[in-house]
A and B are shown apart, each in its own frame.
Chain A
Amino acid sequence: MKIKFPWTKPADEDLAQLEDLLSITLTPIAPRPDFTTDLQDRLKTNMPAPAALAAETRPSGQYWTFWGLMAVVGSLLLVLTGFRFYAALLGALGIISGFSGRPTKNKRAASLKPAA
């Protein structure tokens, strides 16, 4: 419970009361013990062998295929349309992605993407 000072604004009191209500509403709830032990057993039995784990993390060919395809399309576009059009297109794409992307100043969370 927060201390109520004489100079406390009514709006601040509201928020303090709301925080109190939140603290009694959002409380930790323990999972069923059966569930916890069952899942632990299932995880143990399904744990892949080290060799399988290593195979799973091998870099996928999808990324190479994608970037290879992009390089081919980019080269064709450059040859067919000329440098000016190509530069203008890249610039436009850069501007669009700059405006639509998420702000980059904040640190991002850990990525689930496999390491390249």
Chain B
Amino acid sequence: MLNTSANGQNELSDREVLSLASAGDAEAFGELYLRYVDRIYNYVYYRTGNHHDAEDLTARVFFRAMRHIRNYQDRGVPFSAWLYRIAHNLVANWHRDNSRRQEIPLDDISYRQSERQLPETTLLRTEEQAELLQIIRDLPPERQQLLILKFVEHYSNAEIGTIMGRTEGAIKSLYHRTLLSLRNKFIGQQGPKGPLPGRLS
């Protein structure tokens, strides 16, 4: 049984929980699951574009992790990197098996908006977001992963580097190239009178 403090925070570190889970402790693996399920779900959701496949693949990620938990070797890389690696491989297989394109329903796009925004502005922004998501989905997998880790999970460049197996400098460079590529594709879709700059401000 895992100890929890009075304020509900877990006392055990990932490493300690991992060692228990490796020994076959179901409670410990359950704890790891609770710590990472949201992050893995988000990653898979943005890579697949729909909740149904996101749920299916997230379940597969954790079942695979459970089967191979004994093989996990602590090489100074966080446990999340291992989980993201499994998720990345499963999503790659999923994309290979599903050559058909899938659209994200607009209802599913979560976006923050000011209550004072005019309906026209909101509609315009929703369209832009849908277009942007479509362009992101056309990016190479590693660039998609970088954007998801940066904007959804708010990881630093150094943390993303650890997860993706690259240096911090390489991540910075990749991020800049990804932004440039996104901008060019976005302007290309919108035409010369596109939203950048102007409509967004």
Contacts and interface: CB of A to CB of B under 8 A. Distances in A.
A116 to B, nearest CB: 11
A20 B200 contact: yes
Interface of A is mostly: helix
B199 to A, nearest CB: 9
A24 B111 contact: yes
Interface residues of A, number: 47
Interface of B: 22-24, 26, 29-30, 33-34, 37-38, 41-42, 45-46, 51, 54-55, 58-59, 62-63, 66-73, 75, 77, 81-82, 84-86, 89, 108-113, 125, 128-129, 132-133, 136, 147-148, 151-153, 163-167, 170, 179-180, 182-183, 186, 196-197, 200-201
26 contacts: A14-B197, A15-B179, A18-B179, A21-B200, A24-B112, A24-B129, A27-B112, A28-B42, A29-B41, A29-B42, A31-B37, A39-B33, A43-B30, A44-B30, A46-B66, A48-B66, A53-B22, A53-B23, A56-B70, A107-B165, A109-B165, A110-B73, A110-B75, A112-B68, A112-B71, A114-B68
